[in-house]
Amino acid sequence: MADDPENTEGETTGSVTGAEAIRAVVKTLPTTSGVYRMLDRKGDALYVGKARNLKSRVGNYVSAAGLSNRILRMVNETFSMEVVVTHTEAEALLLESNLIKRLMPRYNVLLRDDKSFPDIRITGGHDFAQLTKHRGARNLPGEYFGPFASAGAVNRTLIALQRAFLLRSCSDSIFSTRTRPCLLFQIKRCSAPCVGRIDKDGYAKLVGEARSFLQGRSKEVQERLARVMQAHSDAMEFESAAMVRDRIRALTQVQGRQDINLPGVADADVIAAHQTGGQTCIQVFFFRAGQNWGNHAYFPSHDRQLPLEEVLAAFLGQFYDNKSPPRQILLSHEPQECALLAEALGVSAGHKVEIAVPKRGEKRQVLEHALVNAREALARRLAESATQQKLLEGTALALGLEAPPQRIEVYDNSHIQGSHAVGAMIVAGPGGFIKNAYRKFNIRGVGPLADSKEGLGEAIEASAEPAALTPGDDYGMMREMLSRRFARAIKEDPDREQGTWPDLVLIDGGPGQLSSALQVMEDLGIDDIALAAIAKGPDRDAGRERFFRPGRPPFSLDQKDPVLYFLQRIRDEAHRFAIGTHRARRVKAIGASPLDEISGIGGKRKKALLHHFGSARGVSRAGLTDLERVEGISKAVAKKIYDHFHVDG
């Protein structure tokens, strides 16, 4: 990959923008392959593209003729460009996909919900292999089977495989210290090799059967088990026959969840795309060893006018950026530059990758099944979006807003008597919860706008006087959280061009919290964001919530109003997020020690102090002379420790 600094050319254009800025860059471009980035005035990427001939490709943007409105807008916003030269066009395609995922340019097709998928791993390097779930790079010894479409799918399969093959799931450290069988042995999900209930050869036979099943030879495994069961039955060993019967049932359970299979194909991804209403759904089915390991639906973000083939091509590049493609990819439609995509994915995977669009036969039947799933998933999403939009319209009506909010931010905080206080912000919009926009705040106990680390502007900081918070001061916590959030927004996005400013701020609380929020907005000079507070009714009874809006008497909504349920749901999501964040911070604090706060006290000195005094509290009460007696603690270090615990002395 030719993305090292030596191959990078940064082109700036002074104060010229649009086509003139691009024209100035074109003069210096080579005729080789590479990747170009169009940047706005702030240096943010507008678009990332690849080209076989950079000079020719980028030169196409200079003339407005034939360009869509979307591309014309992009050209007009372009202030500068950056170019990376690559050895081949396939390398350029791989780099383009990588940069799009990293930079998320708003004029590209974006795969926003990409993730890695879990595998099943049979570990290596041990006499008694472990059957376990694995996520991430396949760089540990052992054999990998997958990917599975979800953690739930792999967990269900693991449980069934444990019942079928009785392989251990415990770690090597637990295995080596076990002195008696665990519960899994009692419920017939492990053969207990840890305590010698099965010998090495017998266990290896079970591992071989599991391997054969995962490699697609399930029929052979089941036929052999059926013969064993019959042999036990003929010998009147009915308990043993019943155990084998249960193993066969477990295998049948795995196969029963596989809906559709793909005979004659070992490893393949089946990818079907459906487009309607300016949106696209792409369904991916994973087939390994001829078995279906589940499917996942994607809804890439793109311009409504883009054709399906272009969306599909962009999706494939980004989808396989962080995962190895199988040897065969079956598609419902032929993407743009199909041959180049196959070449690039082959370079990335280290083996040949075939991209095919079957027109008939069993492969086409499987694709038709995937297409049905894509159509149904997109229909559900469009219906949900329409319902969500109606709820937003109802929210605007209920709260007296000028227009339906497109971004709602909900704030809540959590603490126990003021300790480990945290704040939480969740975001909702027309598409539901926007989880990558959630934020958590560790309440530092300072007054509004006093935290320069959160990116506050100097002018804003100068206008605030730090003030300590009283433990449990909910109003003060809300002030600090909102101050940090919106002061940062003022500095980072003053023109509100990045879509990170809310239309509605919803506070979990009553008039006191609302008053705190109003004060923050007034201090910051923000007067165009709607504020509301939602408080539970008498006895904290859900359904009897009271709403508070500036300049309006408190009011409630009908208990059967779907808008009330919607506002309850987003309030509860903020509460859930705040509680989870608080618990995580509390658990982390339990494992901490006051000694960790003293510079120069590493693990060795900390251990010596605790051994000598018995606890951190004992260290805090020790005199200077007592501290100096501890091995490894010099007079200077002892003085530092003593001063840390006696700041008033």
Q: Is the peptide bond before 147 cis (omega within 30 degrees of 0)?
A: yes
Q: Which pLDDT score is estimated for 393?
A: 94
Q: Is residue 114 part of a domain?
A: no
Which stretch of DSSP H or E encloses residue 353? none
Domain boundary among 338, 361, 379: 379
CATH number (domain holding residue 471): 3.30.420.340
Domain boundary among 69, 103, 137: 103
> Whole-angstrom Cα distance, residue 410 to residue 502?
10
347 lies in the same domain as 363? yes
494 lies in the same domain as 533? yes
* Range in 92-106, 175-189, 211-225, 567-581 the model is least confident about: 211-225
pLDDT bin (cut points 50, 70, 90) of residue 607 is: confident
> Whole-angstrom Cα distance, residue 486 to residue 501?
9
Residue appearing with tokens 């004029």 = 107
* Residue closest to 439 by CA, chosen among 475, 377, 482: 482
* Range in 161-165, 262-266, 438-442 the model is least confident about: 262-266
Q: Which pLDDT score is estimated for 295?
A: 87
Q: Is residue 395 part of a domain?
A: no
505 lies in the same domain as 626? no
574 lies in the same domain as 617? no
Q: Is the pLDDT of residue 217 over 90?
A: no
CATH number (domain holding residue 604): 1.10.150.20
335 lies in the same domain as 421? no
Q: Is the pLDDT of residue 272 over 70?
A: yes
Q: Is the pLDDT of residue 528 over 60?
A: yes
The structural domain count of the chain equals 5
583 lies in the same domain as 600? no
Who has greater pLDDT, 436 or 265? Answer: 436
- Decide if 120 contacts 93 (C-beta within 8 A): no
444 lies in the same domain as 417? yes
Q: Is the pLDDT of residue 456 over 50?
A: no
Q: State the CB neighbour count (10 A cutoff) for residue 181.
A: 15
Q: Is residue 396 part of a domain?
A: no
Q: What is the pTM of this model?
A: 0.68
232 lies in the same domain as 294? no
For the chain, the first-to-last Cα distance in angstroms comes to 62
Residues 290-311: tens digit of each pLDDT: 778 888 899 999 988 899 999 9
CA 314-315-320 angle, 5° bins? 110
Q: Is the pLDDT of residue 491 over 50?
A: yes
Distances 242 to 4, 22, 251, 254 between C-alpha atoms, Å: 63, 75, 14, 19
Q: Is residue 261 part of a domain?
A: no
pLDDT bin (cut points 50, 70, 90) of residue 631 is: confident
What is the rounded average pLDDT of the residues 574-580?
A: 87
> Whole-angstrom Cα distance, residue 375 to residue 283?
9
Residues 247-258: tens digit of each pLDDT: 887 777 666 555
> Whole-angstrom Cα distance, residue 421 to residue 441?
9
Q: Is the pLDDT of residue 538 over 80?
A: no
Amino acid at position 228, single letter: V
82 lies in the same domain as 124? no
11 is in which domain, residue-wise? Answer: 5-103
CATH number (domain holding residue 97): 3.40.1440.10
What is the rounded average pLDDT of the residues 618-623?
A: 83
Q: Is residue 276 part of a domain?
A: yes
573 lies in the same domain as 610? no
Residues 77-114: tens digit of each pLDDT: 999 999 999 999 999 999 999 999 889 998 999 987 66
Q: Is the pLDDT of residue 265 over 50?
A: yes
242 lies in the same domain as 284? no
pLDDT bin (cut points 50, 70, 90) of residue 411 is: very high
Q: Which pLDDT score is estimated for 349?
A: 87
Q: Is the pLDDT of residue 335 over 90?
A: yes
Q: State the CB neighbour count (10 A cutoff) for residue 496.
A: 11
Largest CA distance in the chain: 91
Classify residue 587 as exposed, middle or buried by CB count within 10 Å of its CB (0-12, 13-18, 19+). Answer: exposed
